[in-house]
Every structure is written in C-alpha cells, then in structure tokens.
Amino acid sequence: MIFAANFKMNHTRASTKAYLDALNQKLASKRSEDRVFIFPPSTALDHYDGDFTIGAQNAYPEKNGAFTGEIGLDQLDEFGIKTILIGHSERRDILGEDQALIAQKFSYFKSKGFEIIYCIGEALEVREEGEDTVMVHLLSQFKGIDLAYEKLIIAYEPIWAIGTGRSAKVEEIASTHSTLKKHFDRPLLYGGSVKPANIKEITAIEGVDGVLVGSASLEVESFTEMIFC
Ligand SMILES: O=C[C@H](O)COP(=O)(O)O
C-alpha cells in the first residue's frame, strides 16, 4: 500500500523537519511492503533521511532558465529529488495548467527518470452526468501520457471530494478504479478526503493501491494513524 502526503501550501522548512523527525520514529514498525511519500512545499525540499520518499509538488520542465518564480531540474537535483506530482486538479484549475503543459511536464520528468504520481479527477458536474461521462473525461486526461512508464503511479482524485471532508462512496471508488485499471497496469491511488475514519474501508477496496492525502496528512499523528490502519 502507498501512503502519500501532499502538504500543498502548508508547513515550513522548520515544521516539515519536525514532522519528518516524528514520522521517522513511527515508521520503524511500518509494513515493509508499504511505501510512504511526502510532498512538502518547495521551500522545504531537502535531503532527509528516513523510510519515506520526498517529492516535489510541482516543477517546470526545464533544467534552468528564465522562468520567474519556478523551480526546475537544477533546483530539484540539489536536494536529490527524483519524485514529482503532476496534473493535480489544483494545478489544472487554480494555476491554469492545460493538458499540453501537463503532458510536457510528464514527458520531461519521465526523460529524467523521475517517479511520477500523475493525478486525474472530475468535477461534480461531470460526475452528475454518470459514470460513462466520468470515464470519458478521466481518459482525456491521459492525452500525451505514457501509461506504460515503469515509474508511473496514478492518483484518482474526484475534485468534488477534495478538501470537503466527504470522500467518494466506496462503490464509486470501486467502480471508477475497476474501469480505470482496464487501461493501465500501474498502481492507482485514491485521493479526496481520506482520513483516519475512512482509511480502512478505502484501502480495502479492490483496485485501490494506496492513498494521496491532503488535509488529514498535515498532522503527523493523523498521517501515521492511517499508515498503521
Ligand atoms: O493531494 C491531495 C488531494 O488533493 C486530497 O486532498 P484532501 O485529502 O484534503 O481532500
């Protein structure tokens, strides 16, 4: 099982270090087959020792250059970062990343051998049109994405469940994951209001290979409670 924490625009260098120190103490008894990823803000990227993988929430698909406000490969290399989130709905909807840029990022970081957690998800109005419409939308988000890439992990995150405290229903997750998995043979995470109260039922669903957690990962106690569920 994969447990990934996306801090989004939360935590600092200091609080991330404190979080990871506390996490390390708890991971000693982690199931060996489980993997833990932490995606802190870019300002907190650094070399950290521990049984977890640190990843970048975002980066520009260039080594370096005139890209004001961005970080690129050079800045990730400095801290040995080789894992990245791409396609998160907040990058798509708030930061305006279109599929062309997302695919460009995917191709670039794939060419550099990065492990990629690639995010897809639909808005409520798409979900309300039914499963067939949802699937057409989700599959459209794979345009330009190599689904056979061996370092690819996919995260299905219904946008209407993100940050709402209400995850998708078990049957919705089961059905969507089952259909998606007909299109690729890669780990598939669920994200969208995962928390200690629902982690057991969500990770028990066939086709769920892990979770990508936002709000409920911000406190180390909550995140580790889910890892040891
Ligand atoms: O990347 C994490 C997802 O956006 C889920 O966020 P959430 O757990 O706060 O709903």
Residue 78 annotated as catalytic? no
Phi then psi for residue 83, to 5 deg, are: -135, 140
ipTM here: 0.99
- Profile the chain (229 residues) by mean pLDDT over runs of 10 residues: 98 98 94 97 97 98 98 98 98 98 98 98 98 98 98 98 96 98 98 98 98 98 97
Contact residues of ligand 1, CB 6 A cut-off: 6, 157, 162-163, 191-194, 212-216
What is the predicted pLDDT for the residue at 124?
A: 97
Distance CA 208, CA 210 (A): 6
DSSP reduced 3-state for 79 = coil
What is the predicted pLDDT for the residue at 59?
A: 98
What is the predicted pLDDT for the residue at 151?
A: 98
Distance CA 21, CA 111 (A): 32
Residue 158 C-alpha to ligand 1 middle, in angstroms? 10
The helix or strand, by DSSP H or E, that contains position 157, with its residue range, turns out to be none
Stated pTM of the model: 0.98
Is there a binding annotation on residue 37? Answer: no
Homologous superfamily (CATH) for 2-227: Aldolase class I (3.20.20.70)
Could you tell me the residue ranges of all domains in the chain?
A: 2-227
Distance CA 14, CA 190 (A): 29
